């Protein structure tokens, strides 16, 4: 019975896409065959390949790219792929199988890489893998390719994890780990919650003061003990007196306290988080960063050409002693012919285990180095295309460089939060020493290729 999807591809150049498509088709219930030994650089067993194509394959899915030819020369198919295609063409002709070979077009290669390839129905994956996968599923359903209704985990994904990924195992080594927690060198001992009669009063005071203030409805939160409550109206100063003013110590905030009336401990947490969000925004604005609104209404902040004197940020890793070596990172630059790419961060306030921010990395794209693209789908597609080249080290270094770029002329990251009160940010995220680690792959082969690549916006 012909019930198997045979995937033919160039090894190792197109392994990434091949495992991605194979694992997803298998999760959908299709029976898949790929050359597992060939994926790992082993010997191709032609007897088995011949038998699968000749007796069991209902479709030959050809991962179509420049890599199927020697040295990217059209017409010179690599030996293994050439054998598979010739056998498939022979079987299709003898048994009159329609659309037996389906090219999955994953790059900008021409449609005539080999004789007859331009006569085949190509499914485009070169713009968006998800869109191509959807079109492929429609074709398989139309041609009534057998499918199992029982949902099971992908054996291909499990095999790849056991045989390939797990070889890069944890080893004994002293290693420094950088977290995404970004905290402070100092923190005021207390903060203040002001309750006003109505929302309009709170809004007027909020706009009068230029320091970071958290605002939720008719409540303002600040590190300022003597908030300016004078508002100019019709060329006169009017004082708006808050109904209530509460002093909350940071110790009570962290360890909790019992109170039934406003502000309860939960109230204090919520309003303090709002205040810290404003402190983060103030720092980004002070540093003249631009921001992009994410789908969850948060902002991702990014550097632009006039933010930095030099788009390259140079820094030294901590704890390197006499082996200190300067690191230089670029946080934005040209992206193909489409515009510019920018590394960006968003933040979420964290109270435990540290008071500070949990940073999240993003990529955004602009038309001219400043204005982000309006096309969300295009933005998403290029995030994946650009992000596929980044590994842990790259993301870590960009995050560290981003923070280093916020320093003032004295090498400090500071904002004013009240009269005679400064909030000083650390120059590094929180770090942890461990007696175990792993070897980062140097051949730039993705370890997460079983997952469709999305940059989360939440």
Model confidence pLDDT, tens digit, residues 257-303: 999 999 999 999 999 999 999 999 999 999 999 999 998 889 999 99
Specify the pLDDT at position 433.
Answer: 93
Specify the pLDDT at position 444.
Answer: 45
> Mean of the per-residue pLDDT values for the chain?
87
Q: Are residues 251 and 377 in the same domain?
A: yes
Number of neighbours of residue 23 by Cβ within 10 angstroms:
23
What residue has token string 């939720």?
216
What CATH number should be reported for the domain holding residue 63? 3.40.50.10140
**pLDDT tens digits, 231-249:** 988 888 899 999 999 999 9
Q: Report percent pLDDT > 90 for the chain.
A: 64
183, two tokens: 């905290």
Q: Please state the domain count of the chain.
A: 2
Whether residue 173 is contained in a domain is answered as no
Q: Report percent pLDDT > 70 for the chain.
A: 88
Segment 349-367 shows an average pLDDT of 95
Q: How far apart (Å, rounded) are the C-alpha atoms in residues 59 and 98?
A: 9
Q: Are residues 119 and 72 in the same domain?
A: yes
Residue 44 CB contacts under 8 Å (≥ 6 apart), including other chains: 35, 37, 38, 80
Q: How far apart (Å, rounded) are the C-alpha atoms in residues 170 and 237?
A: 66
* Domain ranges, residue 375: 181-437
Q: Are residues 355 and 246 in the same domain?
A: yes
Instruction: Indicate the range of 28-32, 41-45, 330-334, 356-360 predicted with least confidence.
Output: 41-45
Q: Which one-letter DSSP state was computed for residue 180?
A: S
Specify the pLDDT at position 26.
Answer: 87
User: Within 13 Å and on the Cβ side, how many CA atoms surround 72?
Assistant: 6
Could you give the C-alpha distances from 3 to 30, 137, 146, 270, in angstroms and in order? 8, 15, 6, 57
**pLDDT tens digits, 118-177:** 999 999 998 888 889 999 999 999 999 998 766 566 677 777 666 655 555 677 888 899
Q: Are residues 31 and 94 in the same domain?
A: yes
- Give residue 457's pLDDT band: very low, low, confident or very high (50, 70, 90): very low
Residue of 204, 193, 184 lying closest to 270 (CA atoms):
193
Specify the pLDDT at position 455.
Answer: 34
Q: How far apart (Å, rounded) are the C-alpha atoms in residues 44 and 35?
A: 7
H-helix or E-strand spanning residue 270: helix 265-286
Q: Helix (H, G, I), strand (E, B), or coil: what is residue 53?
A: helix
Specify the pLDDT at position 323.
Answer: 58
Q: Are residues 225 and 249 in the same domain?
A: yes
Segment 63-88 shows an average pLDDT of 88
Number of neighbours of residue 443 by Cβ within 10 angstroms:
5
Whether residue 334 is contained in a domain is answered as yes
Specify the pLDDT at position 160.
Answer: 67
Q: Are residues 286 and 432 in the same domain?
A: yes
Whether residue 375 is contained in a domain is answered as yes
Q: How far apart (Å, rounded) are the C-alpha atoms in residues 364 and 380?
A: 9
Q: Are residues 156 and 17 in the same domain?
A: yes
Specify the pLDDT at position 440.
Answer: 63
CA dihedral 222, 225, 226, 230 (to 10 degrees): 20
**pLDDT tens digits, 373-383:** 999 888 888 88
Specify the pLDDT at position 150.
Answer: 60
Q: Helix (H, G, I), strand (E, B), or coil: what is residue 418?
A: strand
- Give residue 202's pLDDT band: very low, low, confident or very high (50, 70, 90): very high
Q: Are residues 195 and 111 in the same domain?
A: no
Question: Between 377 and 212, whose confidence is greater?
Answer: 212
Pairing of strands 290-293, 219-222: unpaired
Whether residue 426 is contained in a domain is answered as yes
CB 395 within 8 A of CB 361: yes
Segment 377-391 shows an average pLDDT of 80
Q: Are residues 216 and 123 in the same domain?
A: no
Segment 35-64 shows an average pLDDT of 81
Q: How far apart (Å, rounded) are the C-alpha atoms in residues 145 and 5?
A: 9
First to last CA, the chain: 46
Instruction: Indicate the range of 48-57, 100-109, 135-144, 153-162 predicted with least confidence.
Output: 153-162
Last residue of a domain, one of 137, 167, 197: 167
- Give residue 213's pLDDT band: very low, low, confident or very high (50, 70, 90): very high
- Give residue 44's pLDDT band: very low, low, confident or very high (50, 70, 90): low
């Amino acid at each position: 019975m012909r019930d198997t999807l045979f995937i033919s591809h160039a090894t190792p150049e197109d392994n990434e896409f091949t495992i991605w498509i194979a694992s997803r088709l298998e999760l959908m219930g299709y029976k898949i065959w790929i050359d597992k030994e060939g994926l790992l650089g082993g010997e191709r067993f032609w007897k088995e390949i011949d038998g699968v194509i000749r007796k069991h394959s209902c479709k030959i899915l050809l991962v179509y790219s420049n890599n199927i030819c020697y040295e990217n020369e059209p017409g010179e198919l690599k030996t293994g792929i050439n054998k598979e295609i010739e056998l498939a063409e022979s079987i299709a002709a003898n048994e009159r199988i329609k659309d037996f070979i389906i090219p999955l077009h994953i790059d900008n290669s021409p449609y005539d890489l080999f004789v007859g390839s331009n006569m085949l129905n190509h499914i485009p994956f070169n713009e968006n893998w998800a869109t191509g996968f959807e079109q492929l599923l429609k074709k398989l359903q139309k041609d009534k390719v057998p499918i199992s209704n029982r949902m099971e985990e992908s054996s291909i994904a499990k095999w790849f994890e056991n045989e390939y990924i797990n070889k890069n195992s944890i080893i004994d080594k002293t290693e420094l780990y950088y977290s995404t927690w970004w905290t402070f060198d100092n923190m005021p001992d207390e903060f203040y919650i002001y309750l006003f009669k109505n929302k309009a009063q709170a809004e007027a005071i909020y706009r009068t003061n230029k320091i970071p203030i958290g605002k939720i409805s008719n409540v303002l939160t600040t590190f300022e003990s003597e908030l300016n409550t004078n508002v100019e109206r019709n060329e006169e100063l009017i004082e708006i007196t808050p109904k209530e003013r509460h002093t909350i110590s940071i110790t009570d905030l962290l360890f909790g306290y019992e109170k039934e009336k406003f502000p309860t401990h939960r109230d204090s947490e919520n309003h303090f988080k709002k205040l810290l969000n404003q402190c983060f925004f103030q720092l980004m604005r002070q540093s003249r960063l631009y921001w992009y609104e994410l789908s969850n209404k948060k902002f991702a902040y990014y550097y632009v050409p006039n933010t930095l004197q030099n788009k390259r940020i140079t820094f030294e890793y901590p704890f390197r002693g006499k082996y200190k070596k300067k690191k230089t990172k670029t946080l934005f630059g040209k992206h193909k012919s489409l515009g510019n790419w920018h590394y960006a961060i968003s933040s979420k306030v964290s109270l435990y285990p540290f008071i500070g921010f949990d940073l999240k990395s993003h990529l955004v794209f602009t038309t001219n180095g400043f204005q982000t693209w309006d096309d969300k789908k295009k933005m998403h597609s290029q995030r994946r295309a650009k992000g596929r080249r980044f590994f842990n080290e790259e993301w870590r270094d960009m995050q560290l460089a981003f923070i280093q770029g916020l320093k003032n002329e004295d090498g400090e990251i500071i904002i004013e939060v009240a009269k005679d009160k400064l909030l000083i940010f650390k120059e590094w995220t929180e770090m942890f020493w461990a007696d175990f680690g792993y070897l980062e792959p140097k051949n730039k082969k993705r370890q997460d290729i079983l997952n469709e690549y999305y940059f989360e916006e939440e």
